[in-house]
Structure 1
Amino acid sequence: MSVLQIAIEVVGWLAAALILASYVLLSLGRIEPRGYLYQWMNVIGASGFVLNSGYNGALPSAGLNIVWALMGVFTLWSVWRARRLPVES
């Protein structure tokens, strides 16, 4: 295995660990589903999966994770936007 192949595999395993950790923390009630931490963990993890899957030719997995990352980015944007708007009485 080349250094690049090892790096791609490490990225894939770290992505898997990050997404699994986000799910465990969410399931235990330690983080909120619309919280920044959960969403960033998923965006970064999905991005790692895109890199790993794309490199290894697993295009359905890469496509799914592109959508997963975009959903996370959209949620981050909508939460940020909702939190900066003043509350109307």
Structure 2
Amino acid sequence: MALYKVSRTDGCRYDEYDAIVVRATSEKAALEIATMGDERRYGDDVEWDAQFSGFERDGSNLKAEMILSAGPAGLILGSFNAG
């Protein structure tokens, strides 16, 4: 496994993450961790509640960069812009 820094490719507002560091087996797995969240239904409306606010569900505003290291998969660091 390796460490991956997943960061935004667009601007960042208050109360959103601009980057996280995760341990994963691949760039794809790192992006899957970064885009985790819950789908919530309110009648006919569907809302996506991202675990890391500001990260698009499809990963379209993210890039992943590998940082070599050993250890189990999971979040290492989150960078959050409080407002």
* TM-score bracket for this pair, using the shorter chain length: under 0.3
The structure with more radius of gyration:
1
Q: Per residue, is there more strand in 1 or in 2?
A: 2
TM-score with structure 2 setting the length: 0.24
Q: Per residue, is there more helix in 1 or in 2?
A: 1
